[in-house]
Structure 1
């Protein structure tokens, strides 16, 4: 293993939850190397294989693929299937931060797991979603607001700050940097 590979492995992991093909298009640029955090794209949601295919087409390989047994069975079945899988992933790999986008049922489940496990969450809002997605985004924001920075390990706080920076600087396919507004009601300093 080279020194660069050793350094990259020592960086805190940021799980980027990619729950749809729209998420894949928006979040694929976050799979790039970063000096402060190691992004791991997690292809999941109701159709994780389609998500993985879009990520592959964009040149952003998924670090993890979480399959569901009952695709297209609705949001309740999606959450019921995703909660134990996401919980096992977060408990086993212990990422420094989890990034979710929008208000999908998978994003809500990932947020619930991360908050319960004490892992900081960075939530990227999406406008013009369905009423269910808007309600889920509100629930995600409420869960994120319950996290107290003093209770989070300093390396996780730094990783969350790096995740915020990555999202703000995230390039859109074929364009330059794009600014994404994130909730700023919490402080990320330890």
Structure 2
């Protein structure tokens, strides 16, 4: 194993929850190597194989593909299908930080699982979400704000800061920069 590979193995992992093909377009730039955190794209949502295909087409390979039985149409069945799988993923792999985008039921379920497991969440807002999406984004912000600084270790603080930096610095679709809001920035500051 090379020195670079050893260093990468010691870096904390950041799970990037990619819940839709739109998320794949927006979050694929986060897949590149970084010196502070290892971004792991998690293709999931109601159609994880379509998400994985888009990521592959963009040259951003998913580190995990979270398959679930196809949920019925609607946010409640999607959440019911995904929450136990996302919780198991976070509990088993214990990432240092979870990044979600928008207000999809998958983003809300991933946030719930991460907060429950004491893993910091970085939430990237999406303008123009549906009414349900806007309500979910508000719930995600409330969950993120509820995280206690006593539950966050220094590695998680550094990983959350690296996640924020990546979202700000890596270009979004069309080459524009992104803006990230982390509701608990005071909680996760070192």
* The two structures share one fold, judged by TM-score above 0.5: yes
Corresponding residue number in structure 1 for 2:179: 180
Q: TM-score, normalised by structure 1?
A: 0.95
The worse-fitting range, judged by mean Cα deviation, of 67-76 and 80-89 is: 67-76
Q: TM-score, normalised by structure 2?
A: 0.95
Checking the alignment, whether the CA contact within 8 Å between 1:15 and 1:97 is kept in structure 2 is yes
Checking the alignment, whether the CA contact within 8 Å between 1:47 and 1:71 is kept in structure 2 is no
CA RMSD of superposed structures (Å): 1.3
Question: Structure 1 164/108 Cα, relative in aligned 2: closer, same or farther at 3 Å?
Answer: same
The structural deviation recorded for 1:181 is 3.4
Corresponding residue number in structure 1 for 2:102: 102
| Alpha-carbon distance between aligned partners in 2 of 1:120 and 1:184, rounded to the nearest angstrom | 11
| Alpha-carbon distance between aligned partners in 1 of 2:154 and 2:185, rounded to the nearest angstrom | 15
| Alpha-carbon distance between aligned partners in 1 of 2:84 and 2:183, rounded to the nearest angstrom | 30
Whether 2:96 is the aligned partner of 1:91: answer no
Corresponding residue number in structure 1 for 2:58: 58
| Alpha-carbon distance between aligned partners in 2 of 1:167 and 1:29, rounded to the nearest angstrom | 9
Corresponding residue number in structure 2 for 1:36: 36
Q: Secondary structure at the match of 1:103?
A: coil
Poorly superposed stretches of 4+, deviation over 6 Å: none
Checking the alignment, whether the CA contact within 8 Å between 1:157 and 1:189 is kept in structure 2 is yes
Q: Secondary structure at the match of 1:33?
A: coil
Q: Following superposition of structure 1 onto structure 2, how do residues 79-158 of structure 1 map, counting pairs within 5 Å?
A: 79-158=79-158
The number of residue pairs the alignment matches comes to 189
| Alpha-carbon distance between aligned partners in 2 of 1:172 and 1:181, rounded to the nearest angstrom | 12
Checking the alignment, whether the CA contact within 8 Å between 1:104 and 1:136 is kept in structure 2 is yes
Runs of 5+ unmatched residues, structure 1: none
Checking the alignment, whether the CA contact within 8 Å between 1:70 and 1:77 is kept in structure 2 is no
